[in-house]
Structure 1
């Protein structure tokens, strides 16, 4: 007997010792006795149809596409605040730094056709779900452990080298780890790995970290406008912003989830970014 979609979701929660499904993760079409899964970072209408055509028991996406996972996405963004306060940013400052991002995402939810992909899966009778926050949290913890393992006098370049040495995903990626602010020779100092909070925090969140004792912020992606703002404000300050790459970073936690599913008898076919590091 294979697993149910509920059991698969529960497995993802067990990996991070959570007991509540995050707002960005949803079972759109439930399934039972799942023995095969098409797994990808982005699985939308075409991939759902592919899964049905090829006879997969489940289409398992990482990124949310609709329903609750989009409408409740802003609740996940509250983790932006808790990550900042854990690194010494006062709560009122952290809340203010995250407010713009949360407002933008709240507005964006009203423009989305969040029933599109789930309705395709329903029409085809194709079990379909997404698991977003738990794999990202796995990746964040693993990157945080690498940062914590470095010597007190480590440089930014030492962190980048350690990421490459530790993670096949970064070695295999077509993107490179970039230091968008600062320099490889800069002292690493206090590090905040800001991942697994829905999305990156942009310039506002990085600024809050920099102004309250964090020397190096690690994002998995950032926009060019935010990079330029931070360069104008913090160039030559000794502060550093390291960008590890979106898909490669997501693949770290997803590979742990895929390995766990396969250990429980679910044969996984990785596509759409999930082949990185495998």
Structure 2
């Protein structure tokens, strides 16, 4: 007997010792006796149809696309506050830093067609789910461990090299780890790994870190406007390391896929999940 979609969700939570399903992860179409899964960072209508036509028991996506995972996505942003306060940012300053992001994402979710992809899966009777925050948390903890293992006099370049050496996904990706603010030769100092919080925090979250003693912020992606704003404000005084969206997601997802296969689910990886495997 294979797993149910509920058991697969529980498996993802067990990898990070969580008890509750986060707001950005959900089962759109439940399934039982799952022995095969098509797994990808983005699985939408075309990939759902591919899973159905190829006979996969489950279409398993990373990014949320509809229903609760889209409409409740802003709940996950509370983790941004937690990450900032862990680095000494006062709670009111952390809340202010994400206020605009929370409002923009709330408006975006309200305007989205949250029924599009789930309705295709329902029509095809194709089990379909997404698991977002737990794999990202696996990656975040792994990145933190790399930073903590570095000597006190490590540079930003040393951090970048250590990340590449630790994770095959960074070595195999077409993107590179970029230093968008600061310099590779600069002292690394205190590092904040801002990942597994729904999305990156943009310029305002980085500013909150920098203004409260953090020297280096790690995002997995950032917008060009945010980078420019930070350059104008901080010059080379602070550092912003960008590891790459898909490669970074692949780090945590690889651990999740390994756990699925150990539990008896044969996984076919597409849409970025296979990087570094």
| Fold equivalence (TM over 0.5) | yes
For 1:149 and 1:201, how far apart are their aligned partners in 2? Answer: 25
1:162-215 Cα offsets, whole Å, 9 max, x none, are: 000000000000000000000000000000000000000000000000000100
Residue 217 (structure 1) aligned with residue 217 (structure 2): yes
Q: Match for residue 274 of structure 2?
A: 275
Counterpart Cα distance in 2 of 1:39 and 1:205: 31
Check if 1:260 corresponds to 2:230: no
Question: Could you tell me how far apart the structure 2 residues matched to 1:17 and 1:100 are?
Answer: 31
**1:152 Cα deviation (Å)?**
0.3
Cα offset for 1:17? 0.3
Aligned-residue Cα RMSD (Å) equals 0.4
Given the alignment of the two structures, is residue 113 of structure 1 paired with residue 129 of structure 2, yes or no? no
Q: How does 1:129-140 map to 2 (within 5 A)?
A: 129-140=129-140
Q: d(CA) in 1 for partners of 2:236 and 2:257? A: 42
Cα distance in 1 between the residues matched to 2:29 and 2:170: 33
Note the C-alpha offset of 1:236.
Answer: 2.8
Structure 1 unaligned residues grouped into runs of 5+:
none
Aligned length: 277
Partner of residue 39, structure 2: 39
Alignment of 1:14-53 (within 5 A): 14-53=14-53
**Structure 2 length-normalised TM:** 1.00
Please say if 1:232 is aligned against 2:263: no
Structure-1 separation of matches of 2:64 and 2:235: 35
- TM superposition shift of 1:275: 1.1
Describe the superposition over 1:54-79 as per-residue Cα deviations: whole angstroms up to 9, x where unpaired.
00000000000000000000000111
Provide the secondary structure at the position in 1 that maps to 2:218.
strand
Partners in 1 of 2:265 and 2:70 — Cα distance?
27
Matched, 1:55 2:63: no
Residues in 2 aligned to 1:187 and 1:247: alpha-carbon distance in whole angstroms: 27
Structure 1 residue ranges, 4+ long, deviating more than 6 angstroms after superposition: none
Q: What are the ranges of 5 or more consecutive residues in structure 2 without an aligned counterpart?
A: none
Determine the structure 2 residue equivalent to 1:153: 153
Distance 1:136 1:17 in 2: 13
CA drift of 1:16 comes to 0.3
Post-superposition Cα deviations, 1:57-102, rounded to whole Å, max 9, x if no partner, equal 0000000000000000000011111100000000010000011100
8 Å contact 2:183–2:236 — kept in the other structure?
A: no
TM-score (norm 1): 0.99
Contact 2:181 2:236 in 1 (8 A): no
| 1:80 counterpart residue number | 80
Q: Secondary structure at the match of 1:59?
A: strand
- Matched residue, 1:246: 245
C-alpha separation between the residues in 2 aligned to 1:50 and 1:77? 32
Q: Distance in 2 between matches of 1:113 and 1:106?
A: 13
